[in-house]
């Protein structure tokens, strides 16, 4: 493959090479050190099978529609046929899906598949109903799902997957033929038939049985020799489906088996690792044809925020100079002032969570570094092999923010993580943002973002936000007992921070876009003195202007009667620069006091934390 690529780049003429075995093809685009790939949850619908309760042996002429909806509004057609263009299938047949064109399906509470199918021969409704695509639980992600929609005379079985961290690829295949004498390309059309099937390198990880792997394939081109497709030479082949969702840490496999009137022009399996921009095109050469296969990669953020202003996600304040007062009409109610003015916050980056997962094995232990370069060095994770972290079931790294927040949106997040027990490279690369790409094709500020940084054996998912106007909150927590304060308090539980300006309607948003200030499992309970300050993972949190800080406690403390008592609740802190605010969460005999102080200026002096 390297030989083909070098020759193709060096000359416009295409060398004649013998077709190669699929096992000789190398992976495309692998890097020892990678840039982060922006990813979102995406739905991939693989196939829809129709089963009817009609006993006759006649075929069916199906017409109707399958649409992906966002609330009441259609966003993509996956199937659309008028009665005059009905599709002939037999009982328990599979529909020829189309689309989605120009984007991918993003799961949410409002996302569903609307299915309305009829049989033209019998004049009856076969299936009519909706399939909810909201991933209600964490188990709904990254696994093959089977949804059923019932109708008057049959059922539709939808095979699909909701990928947690995905991009989508747009596939383009062009065919060129040339004269055997002088190698000149023929300016004519060709009759192409055969199949193009796309799948995933690690398909078995999304299934419970080997038999289910076949449902993970998407057939984008399928023509028989009796009904070939007329293709203009040098123009892309028209696909029924040219967009496919791919996990950002995975590899897209494309199996081509194509013929023209002379003979076979492609019979290879190509592999394109998901990338943040575009994979290098692959060239297939036979004695009479030259096929170019190209995949362009996209993220779904433009679709998610399409038609929305930044204010719809976080209410922005006008850009003003530091210490310049805002007009009274624009002063947020959350920042009181004796002079009825307020001061602008700071630009900064909030990293909510960093999750890790293995591709070539389960990640159970973690060591390495996560460094923030925002003009100064800040390590939010730094563990040696000799004192590695044993990961909890949620798979989140214990990132620490106790020295300062990140006072910039122009930064690098540099990851070098590995599993010292299994000897696996988890993540090695960076997430980079600069003033040049913050507002490239959309405003990236104040949005819930995720970037995937791959390693050889796994990946890290960095969930973060780039705030253009935020305030730093310092959180301090103390635990008290109303009697026998001399006896240590054995406790465990979690403290979770979020802000009122974000949407947390899905399980994905709840898990990954909230900050874990404290996370003690029961088998790692901690002994505390009554009234002592709790040492937390994260005591510095950025809160965007116009929002408030919300802290959820799910805590348990051992009482003097040797029984654990719950100290659970939710408290809210509005942004206030006039001093510290205190809220109390009470149990029966023990309670928790939470102190929060806001400020709008970075630390003075040396910001380095090496």
Among the ranges given (131-135, 203-207, 458-462, 549-553), the one the predictor scored with the smallest mean pLDDT = 203-207
Tell me: pLDDT of 26 over 70.
Answer: no
| Rounded percentage of the chain residues whose pLDDT exceeds 90 | 51
pLDDT of residue 77 exceeding 50, the answer is yes
d(CA 394, CA 164) in angstroms, rounded, equals 14
Lowest mean pLDDT among 112-126, 277-291, 448-462: 277-291
Interior CA angle at 13 toward 12 and 15, to 5°?
135
Q: Which residue has the higher pLDDT, 403 or 14?
A: 403
Q: Where are the domains of the chain?
A: 2-36+166-298, 41-162, 346-599
Residue 569, classified by CB atoms within 10 Å of its CB into exposed (0-12), middle (13-18) or buried (19+), is middle
- Give per-residue pLDDT as tens, 472-522: 999 999 999 888 778 889 999 999 999 998 989 888 999 999 999 999 999
Compute the average pLDDT of residues 387-402: 92
- Which pLDDT value is given to residue 70? 80
Rounded Cα gap, residues 81 and 77, in angstroms? 10
- Match 């966003």 to its residue by tokens: 75
Whole-number pLDDT of residue 308: 38
Section 546-569 average pLDDT: 92
Question: Mean pLDDT in the chain?
Answer: 82
d(CA 468, CA 350): 11
The answer to whether domain 41-162 has CATH 2.60.40 is yes
Q: Which residues of 85-115 are buried (b: 16+ CB within 10 A; e: fewer)?
A: ebbebebebebbbbbbeebbbbbbeebbbbb
Helix (H, G, I), strand (E, B) or coil at 271: strand
> Which of 110, 106, 104, 164 is closest to 137 using CA atoms?
164
pTM assigned to the model: 0.83
Mean pLDDT of 437-459: 83
Tell me whether residue 526 is exposed, middle or buried, using C-beta atoms within 10 angstroms of its C-beta: 0 to 12, 13 to 18, 19 or more. middle
Coil vs helix vs strand at 28? coil
- Which is it for strands 111-119 and 449-454: parallel, antiparallel or unpaired? unpaired
The owner of tokens 């747009």 is: 170
pLDDT value for 189 = 84
Read off the pLDDT of each residue in 102-130 and give the average, rounded to a whole number. Answer: 89
Residue 549 has pLDDT above 50, yes or no: yes
Cis? peptide before 325, omega within 30° of 0: no
Task: Give the pLDDT confidence score for residue 327 in this predicted structure.
Answer: 38
Say if residue 449's pLDDT is above 80. yes
């Amino acid at each position: 493959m390297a030989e083909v690529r070098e020759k193709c780049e060096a000359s416009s003429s295409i060398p004649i090479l013998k077709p190669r075995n699929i096992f000789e093809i190398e992976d495309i685009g692998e890097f020892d050190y990678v840039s982060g790939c922006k990813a979102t949850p995406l739905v991939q619908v693989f196939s829809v099978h129709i089963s009817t309760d009609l006993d006759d042996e006649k075929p069916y002429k199906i017409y109707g529609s399958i649409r992906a909806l966002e609330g009441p509004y259609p966003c993509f057609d996956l199937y659309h046929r008028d009665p005059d263009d009905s599709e002939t299938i037999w009982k328990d047949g599979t529909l020829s899906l189309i689309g989605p064109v120009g984007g991918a399906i993003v799961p949410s509470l409002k996302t569903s598949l609307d299915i309305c199918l009829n049989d033209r021969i019998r004049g009856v409704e076969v299936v009519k109903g909706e399939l909810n695509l909201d991933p209600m639980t964490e188990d709904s992600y990254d696994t093959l799902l089977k949804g059923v929609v019932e109708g008057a005379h049959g059922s539709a079985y939808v095979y699909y997957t909701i990928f947690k961290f995905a991009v989508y690829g747009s596939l383009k295949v062009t065919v060129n033929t040339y004269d055997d004498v002088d190698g000149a390309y023929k300016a004519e059309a060709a009759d192409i038939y055969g199949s193009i099937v796309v799948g995933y390198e690690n398909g078995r990880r999304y299934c419970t049985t080997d038999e289910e792997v076949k449902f993970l394939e998407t057939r984008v081109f399928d023509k028989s020799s009796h009904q070939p497709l007329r293709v203009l030479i040098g123009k892309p082949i028209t696909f029924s489906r040219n967009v496919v969702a791919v996990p950002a840490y995975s590899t897209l496999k494309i199996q081509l088996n194509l013929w023209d009137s002379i003979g076979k022009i492609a019979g290879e399996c190509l592999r394109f690792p998901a990338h943040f921009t575009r994979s290098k095109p692959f060239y297939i050469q036979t004695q009479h044809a030259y096929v170019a296969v190209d995949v362009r990669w996209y993220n779904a953020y433009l679709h998610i925020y399409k038609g929305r202003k930044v204010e719809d996600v976080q209410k922005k304040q006008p850009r003003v100079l530091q210490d310049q007062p805002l007009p009274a009409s624009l002063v947020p109610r959350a920042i009181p002032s004796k002079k009825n003015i307020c001061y602008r916050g700071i630009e900064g980056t909030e990293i909510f969570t960093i999750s890790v997962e293995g591709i070539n094995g389960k990640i159970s232990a973690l060591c390495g570094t996560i460094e923030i370069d925002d003009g100064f060095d800040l390590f939010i994770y730094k563990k040696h092999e000799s004192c590695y972290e044993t990961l909890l079931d949620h798979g989140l790294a214990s990132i620490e923010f106790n020295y300062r927040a990140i006072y910039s949106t122009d930064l690098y997040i540099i990851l070098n993580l590995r599993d010292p027990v299994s000897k696996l490279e988890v993540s090695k690369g960076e997430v980079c943002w600069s003033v040049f790409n913050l507002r490239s094709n959309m405003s990236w500020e104040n949005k819930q973002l995720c970037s995937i940084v791959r390693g050889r054996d796994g990946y890290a998912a960095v969930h973060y936000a780039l705030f253009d106007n935020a305030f730093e909150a310092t959180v301090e927590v103390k635990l008290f007992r109303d009697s026998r304060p001399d006896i240590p308090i054995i406790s465990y539980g979690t403290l979770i921070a979020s802000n009122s300006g974000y949407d947390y309607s899905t399980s994905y948003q709840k898990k990954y876009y909230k900050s874990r200030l404290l996370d003690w499992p029961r088998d790692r309970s901690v002994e505390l003195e009554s009234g002592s300050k709790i040492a937390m993972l994260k005591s510095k949190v950025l809160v965007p202007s116009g929002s408030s800080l919300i802290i959820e406690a799910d805590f348990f403390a051992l009482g003097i009667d040797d029984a654990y008592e719950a100290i659970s609740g939710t408290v809210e802190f509005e942004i206030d620069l006039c001093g510290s605010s205190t809220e109390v969460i009470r149990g029966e005999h023990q309670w928790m006091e939470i102190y929060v102080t806001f400020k709008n200026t970075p630390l003075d002096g040396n910001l380095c934390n090496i």
